[in-house]
């Protein structure tokens, strides 16, 4: 943004050159004295000029900054909190769209756990563990008894023979070996569960969820587009508000100048009437009438000054400027005749309107809502894969070491129907029908609004033409009244009436110009072709 300054400062430097004189005697002395006197006088002028320049620089240190309408637009869009909030909603909708897209991607989860247990797990009871731990002793006793019975059955009655055989078997350490083996078995049946560590990494890829994922993604797209359209509507509304405040300020600025001109006219008339009273061609009553009008004009000028300042403060507020910053708003264009629309294509206008597009996006969201509701009645298919690790090792005799494995599977969920899902689908369909009716109603309202604003623009053009014609007549009437008053043909009352009529006509022209501008802006906004 370029900020221009309303005043320029030029500093002039003077240089005095002393002429070379080739004279002698008194003439040389005389000329030399005159040159010195001239130089001293110019030095004094230079000092005075320098002092004035310094004072001028100090007085212009806080130069007012001039702002045009386009600069006001820029400042307002950079500082408006409502517009910033709309941008945040757009960014949030973009983030939700990214989240919806990520639902198509595989979902990876990692799980880790640690558990401490007071007791271990014993798969054998104490009696079973005892029997297994002494299985060698039991087997040896059974062998001795069986051998004794066998020897007795064949007629060998020597008791020492069975003992000798058992002793020979004892040399083979059968009892000890079997008991040790039994101890190992019971130890293996005692699982160390004091410290358990387990973990898994799982990948799940949805294949079909009844159309839920695509509906969610399209809903996010519609939501993002809707927030963008609503943000554009806020932006356009802000520009319209800036235009209205700006042209209100320009209108009051012209009215303030007009009030000043009217006040100057009455002051001049007051001086003339006083002179006429002194010349005995007017009465004191004429002076009183002029003074009454002069007081009214002074009051109107004060009101115009106050109104102009209030309009400036309002424009500073909407542009986000410091009201004490000394900003001056200047008119950067001239009035033009804006023609109304000859043909209204409501379909193109609706397509260009941000609020209508937002309603269409809402209708799209409602359509996807029906798909989401119907997804509850359709089957879901998900593919999963994982790697599981644990300590104790579940895959190698519950050893105190880490062990793992891969798994893969397909999960299919087929809903058999639930009344709640059916009612949810009906509600979604009714919501879709509601948004469809809202879109149709919005189109009718837009058609009505565009036709009304187009008619207002026609009327505004006629008002401006009539006001300009009335102003021409009022200026001619004022000119004739001035000439007649100077010639003494009409009274001061007639001249004040002509001045008042001119003041009113000029005011109506200003009002008609501003009304024409604003009606054109409102029509452009209604047709979706706002001029930035």
pLDDT of residue 158: 64
pLDDT of residue 32: 39
Residue 468 corresponds to which tokens in the numbers above? 């300009």
For β-strands 403-413 and 121-122, DSSP reports them as unpaired
Q: What are phi and psi of 416, to 5 degrees?
A: -95, 5
Residue 157 corresponds to which tokens in the numbers above? 């009655």
Q: Is the pLDDT of residue 55 over 60?
A: no
Helix (H) or strand (E) holding 143: helix 135-153
Q: Is the pLDDT of residue 57 over 50?
A: no
pLDDT of residue 260: 92
For every residue of 282-334, which 3-state class applies, written as one string? CCHHHHHHHHHHHHHHHHHHHHHHHHHHHHHHHHHHHHCCCCCCCEEECCCCC
Higher-pLDDT residue of 21 and 272 is: 272
Which own/partner pairs from 420-427 qualify as long-range (CB within 8 Å, at least 24 positions apart)?
421/373, 421/376, 421/377, 422/377, 424/373, 424/376, 425/370, 425/373, 425/374, 425/376, 425/377, 427/373
Task: Specify whether the CB–CB gap between 528 and 233 falls below 8 A.
Answer: no
**Of all residues in the chain, what percent carry a pLDDT higher than 70?**
80
Q: Is the pLDDT of residue 192 over 80?
A: no
Q: Which of 52-61, 192-201, 279-288 has the highest mean pLDDT?
A: 192-201
pLDDT of residue 2: 32
CA distances from 262 to 284, 295, 494, 502, 506 (A): 22, 11, 15, 9, 11
Q: Is the pLDDT of residue 244 over 70?
A: yes
Q: Is the pLDDT of residue 256 over 50?
A: yes
Confidence of residue 11 (pLDDT cuts 50, 70, 90): very low
pLDDT of residue 146: 72
Q: Is the pLDDT of residue 312 over 50?
A: yes
Q: Is the pLDDT of residue 396 over 80?
A: no
Q: Is the pLDDT of residue 458 over 60?
A: yes
Mean pLDDT for the stretch of residues 202-215: 91
CA 440 to CA 232: how far, in whole Å? Answer: 22
**Is 338 exposed, middle or buried (CB count within 10 Å of its CB: 0-12, 13-18, 19+)?**
middle
Higher-pLDDT residue of 25 and 367 is: 367
Task: Specify whether the CB–CB gap between 503 and 300 falls below 8 A.
Answer: no
Range in 14-18, 146-150, 506-510 the model is least confident about: 14-18
Q: Is the pLDDT of residue 224 over 90?
A: yes
Q: Is the pLDDT of residue 436 over 90?
A: yes
Mean pLDDT for the stretch of residues 448-454: 94
Q: What are phi and psi of 82, to 5 degrees?
A: -65, -40
Q: What are phi and psi of 528, to 5 degrees?
A: 80, 15
Q: Is the pLDDT of residue 508 over 70?
A: yes
Q: Is the pLDDT of residue 167 over 70?
A: no
Mean pLDDT for the stretch of residues 58-68: 59
CA 162 to CA 149: how far, in whole Å? Answer: 9
Mean pLDDT for the stretch of residues 254-267: 90
For residue 22, give the DSSP letter.
-
pTM score, whole prediction:
0.70
- Mean per-residue pLDDT of the chain: 81
Confidence of residue 170 (pLDDT cuts 50, 70, 90): low
Nearest CA to 495 out of 334, 194, 293 is that of 293
Confidence of residue 82 (pLDDT cuts 50, 70, 90): very high
Residues in the chain: 532
Confidence of residue 151 (pLDDT cuts 50, 70, 90): low
Q: List pLDDT tens digits, range 330-364.
A: 886 655 668 888 888 999 999 999 999 999 999 99
In sequence order, what are the beta bridge partners of 410? 383
CA 197 to CA 162: how far, in whole Å? Answer: 55
Q: Domains in the chain, start-ordered, CATH in brackets?
A: 4-59 (no CATH), 65-105+210-363+421-526 (1.20.1600.10), 107-120+192-208+379-414 (2.20.200), 122-191 (no CATH)
CA distances from 253 to 250, 308, 317, 508 (A): 5, 6, 18, 14
Confidence of residue 15 (pLDDT cuts 50, 70, 90): very low
Range in 120-124, 177-181, 284-288, 489-493 the model is least confident about: 120-124
Higher-pLDDT residue of 370 and 1 is: 370
Confidence of residue 28 (pLDDT cuts 50, 70, 90): very low
């Amino acid at each position: 943004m370029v900020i221009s300054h309303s005043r320029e400062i030029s500093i002039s430097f003077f240089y005095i050159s002393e002429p070379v004189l080739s004279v002698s005697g008194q003439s040389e002395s005389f000329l030399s004295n005159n040159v010195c006197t001239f130089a001293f006088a110019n030095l004094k002028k230079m000092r005075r000029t320098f002092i004035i320049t310094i004072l001028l620089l100090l007085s212009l240190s806080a130069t007012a900054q001039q702002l045009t309408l386009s600069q006001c637009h820029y400042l307002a869009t950079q500082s408006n909190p409502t517009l910033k909030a709309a941008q945040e909603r757009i960014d949030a909708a973009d983030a939700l769209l990214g989240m919806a897209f990520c639902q198509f991607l595989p979902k990876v989860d990692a799980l880790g756990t640690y558990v401490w247990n007071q007791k271990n797990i014993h798969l054998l009871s104490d009696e079973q563990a005892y029997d297994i731990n002494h299985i060698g002793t039991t087997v040896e006793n059974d062998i001795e008894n069986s051998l004794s019975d066998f020897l007795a059955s064949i007629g060998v009655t020597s008791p020492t023979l069975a003992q000798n055989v058992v002793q020979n078997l004892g040399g083979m350490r059968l009892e000890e070996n079997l008991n040790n083996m039994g101890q190992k078995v019971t130890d293996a049946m005692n699982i160390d569960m004091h410290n358990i560590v387990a973990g898994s990494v799982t990948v799940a890829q949805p294949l079909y969820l009844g159309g839920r994922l695509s509906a969610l993604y399209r809903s996010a797209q519609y939501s993002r587009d809707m927030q963008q359209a609503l943000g554009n509507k806020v932006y356009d509304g802000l520009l319209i508000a800036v235009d209205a405040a700006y042209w209100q300020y320009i209108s009051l600025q012209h009215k303030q100048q007009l009030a000043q001109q009217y006040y100057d006219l009455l002051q001049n008339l007051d001086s003339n009437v006083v002179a006429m009273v002194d010349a005995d061609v007017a009465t004191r009553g004429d002076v009183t009438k002029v003074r009454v009008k002069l007081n009214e004009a002074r009051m109107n000028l004060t009101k115009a000054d106050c109104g102009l300042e209030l309009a400036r403060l309002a424009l500073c507020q909407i542009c986000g400027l410091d009201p004490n910053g000394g900003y001056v708003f200047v008119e950067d264009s001239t009035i033009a005749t804006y023609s109304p629309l000859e043909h209204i294509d409501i379909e193109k206008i609706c397509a260009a309107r941000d609020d209508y597009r937002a309603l269409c996006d809402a209708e799209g969201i409602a359509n996807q809502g029906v798909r989401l509701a119907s997804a509850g009645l359709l089957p879901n298919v998900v593919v999963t894969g994982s790697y599981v690790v644990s300590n104790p090792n579940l895959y190698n005799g519950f050893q105190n070491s880490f062990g793992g494995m891969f798994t893969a599977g397909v999960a299919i969920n087929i809903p058999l129907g639930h009344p709640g899902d059916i009612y949810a689908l009906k509600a979604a369909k009714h919501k879709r029908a509601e948004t469809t009716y809202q879109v149709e109603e919005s189109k009718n309202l837009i058609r009505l609004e565009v036709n009304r604003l187009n008619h207002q623009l026609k009327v505004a053009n006629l008002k401006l033409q009539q006001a300009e014609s009335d102003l021409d007549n009022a200026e001619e009437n004022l000119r004739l009244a001035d000439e007649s008053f100077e010639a003494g043909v009409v009274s001061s009352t007639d001249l004040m009436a002509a001045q008042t009529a001119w003041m009113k006509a000029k005011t109506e022209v200003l009002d008609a110009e501003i009304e024409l501008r604003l009606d054109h802006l409102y029509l452009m906004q209604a047709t979706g072709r706002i001029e930035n």
